[in-house]
Each structure stands twice: as structure tokens, then as C-alpha cells.
Structure 1
Amino acid sequence: NSSNRGVNVDQAFIELGGLKVGYFYNWWDDGLSGETDVLANNSIFNSIRYTFTAGAFYAGLSVDELESLNTTITNNNVGISGIIGGAFGPAKVALVGGYDTDREEGAARVIATAELGPGTLGLAAVWASGANAYYNASEWAVAAEYAVKVTDRFKITPGAQYFWTLDQNRFGDFTGNRDGWKAGLTFDYQLATNLSTKVAVNYQDFDNQQEQWTGFVRLQRAF
């Protein structure tokens, strides 16, 4: 039916050196490799950003348009996000922050990964001062995973996350003592060159809320 046809653009941007302008994924999208953690709220914006790189060290600053996000925004309000990170032998660390000028609240997150044994250990912690465009799932959260490369084609990633202070009042401030946790497994299998499948199964248990099982099966094609 021709009336149902359309084009969906995932990203559209211009990049010149460290400067990037357009509609693209923010640093907040760079989470852990598994599909269990919740470490960002929104991660794609119309943005102008600059990233400086010196060897294994990098830092960047981005101005993000927060239009149409669910944070009581009525105009084209602005967010400011930044990142600093580096590689230290087999380990990598990245600290990202974001400030929502509409809500006057912000969030910060650190992710560290390290090659350990047959896989890669990943650790993350995130904090939010209140409801904001970058992260508002809880006031505090920590997550961990271990991505085991079983074969060259098959990877298994168990992961878990704990959330502190899930509720917010009508002003967007975190309140109460309701916490929760989530755990799951992610399976990645490369079927052929540039073709893979991903399967995720997760269990979630939040205080005063029914326990939930979620998951998905996805076929991925790289071009």
C-alpha cells in the first residue's frame, strides 16, 4: 500500500575532524555490551559536538537539542553533555555527563571495561540529580557484566543492575525508598560475514511492583 510507505533515517550528520553536526547518537548511547543494563534515558539528538583526541585519551563537549523529549519541554530547549575517557592497557574508562537546562537537572555516568580471562568485565555507575533528558530511571544505579567469548562466533554476556530510589515527585525530585534489581543473559552469534543474531532474556524485580520477564530475538545485518 503506497500510503504506508516511508523512510526512517537513523542518523544524518556531517563530520569534519573532531567536529560533528547533525542528528546522531550521543555518548550516552555507549553503554555496556549486553542488553540487561539501563544506563541512559535518551541518547539521540540534534547536536553540535567537538571531540579532542590525543593518543589513548579523548574528551568532548556537545550541545544537544532537547525538543520532543518527555521532560515537560515546550520549546527547543538545550542540553549540554560531555565526555572524558581513555585506554590504559587492557582497560578502558569513560566518564560522561549531561545537564538538562529545561529541568535544571543533570546526570553523570562512569563505565569501565577490562579484558579478564576468556572475556571482558564491564562495570558501570550512574547518578541523576533529578528527572532529566539523559537519565532518570533512578537516582543511583550500578551495573556489571562479563562478556564471555565462547568461540570466535559465539558470545554469552550475563549481566545485572541494581537501582536505588526509583520514584519521583511531581517536581521531578527522587523520593521514597523503593529500589529494584535486574539480571539477564545476552547471546550473540555470528551467522555469516556481516550477519548476526542477538537473543536477550531479562528478569526484573522492583519493590511494590510485579516481577517481569522480558526478552527479544533480533537478526542484525551490517553494511
Structure 2
Amino acid sequence: MDSNFLITTFQQILNVLPTTLALFALSVPIGAVFAVFILWMRMSANPILSGFAKTYIFFFRGTPLLIQMFLIFYGLAQFQFFHLPMFWVILANRFWTTVMCLAFCTAAYSAEIFRGGLLAVPSKEIEAGRAIGMSGFKLLRRIVAPSALRQALPAYSTEVVLMLKSTSLAGLLGVVEMTGIAQKIGRQTLHEVLTLCLAGIVYLVVGFLIILLLGWFERLLSPHLRVMPPSAQTPRTIVG
């Protein structure tokens, strides 16, 4: 295999890496914000809000992301209502439509992950906060939210990495990203397996860096769970 071909192909894949990272970096936080609202509705005592959240989660967790992307990009455009400027500014742009499709999908999964973390908060911690006179907002900020986030972060980390891999579907909506350019080069040169392997290497490296970052953040949130060295665990004996 010609080394020049490998270098050129790898460079072409890296040239569209910013597009993949942009899709990932935008869809994850937007999806997290949506997930918080879906979680609020899911936990609401209002049956309408709760029913909407359950339906939303059921649909986006129960159907393939590819079908969701086609339904949103091609389906919504058939309704005149979505030609209003507030909707069409997104639907007319393939990049932003892809971002919103990814965000809608991850919001459903993230809402259930956050709900699991919220339900795992020990009731004794909440009772202790109320006992010392904490307000509802302060209780949420100081006790409930940090504890729920610690509980949910391991599962949410998996969802974040899955979102990186889900950006590979963006090419089906016409957004040029790493998988799409690798397939294009592979078809033109008849080395599709090799070009996809090169793209896979980039995904592995980026995914590994994301895992390291999330692992560091998880340790930052859980300092009390860090394993102390034996010298620190065993008290010193003072000989007097």
C-alpha cells in the first residue's frame, strides 16, 4: 500500500474532524438542556406534562436514530407550519438539522439517566438539608443536584461517547464528516475498508480523550471515594 495514499487520506479525514467535533460539541449540551426539561415534565404531578415526557422518551428511545433524522429532515418540511422562520432557519440548514436530531435523541436517553440519578439520592441527605433550614433551591444546588450528577455520570458518560459515534450518520443528511469522506474516498479508490479503518482510528482516539475527560470530572465530583494510599490510611504511632 502506497504510504502517500495513507497520509493523504488521513489528512482528508482530519480536515473534516472539526465538523464531527462541532456536531458533537453542540448536540450534547443542547440535548442535556432538553433532558432537564423532559426530566422536569417526567417527574411532574401534572398528568399532561408527565404523559408528554413519557411519550417523547418512548418514541426517541424506541425508534432508530436514522429514521428520526429522515422524519425530521424530510418529513417536517412537508408541513407548511414548519416553514415559519423560527423553524425553517433550522430545517433549511443540514448541519443544524443534524445537530437538533442528535440533541432530540440524546435528550430522551439522558432524561432517563438523570431520573435514575435523581431517584438514587439518599433521602436522609434531603431530610438533613431540610432540618437545617435549607430552601428548595439551595437544597437542590448544594445536595440534590451534585449527588444526582455523581450517580448519573457513569451512565451518562456512555451516552456521551455514543453521541460521538452517532455523528457518523450526519453524512446521510448531506453533512460532510469523517465517515462520509472516508466512504467517498474508499469508493473512488476501491480501498473502502482501509479508509474506514483510518476514520475508525480517529474515532477511537477522540473517544478515548473524551473518556479520560469524563473520568477526571467524575473523580472531581467524588473526592470522598478516592482510594487513599496505605500510608495515609494507617495512623502513625507516636513513640514518646
Pick the TM interval, shorter chain.
under 0.3
Kindly name which structure, 1 or 2, has the bigger radius of gyration based on alpha carbons: 2
If the length of structure 1 is used for normalisation, what is the TM-score? 0.26
**Could you say which structure has the higher helix fraction?**
2
**Larger RCO of the pair (alpha carbons < 8 Å, separation 6+):** 2
- TM-score (norm: length of structure 2): 0.25
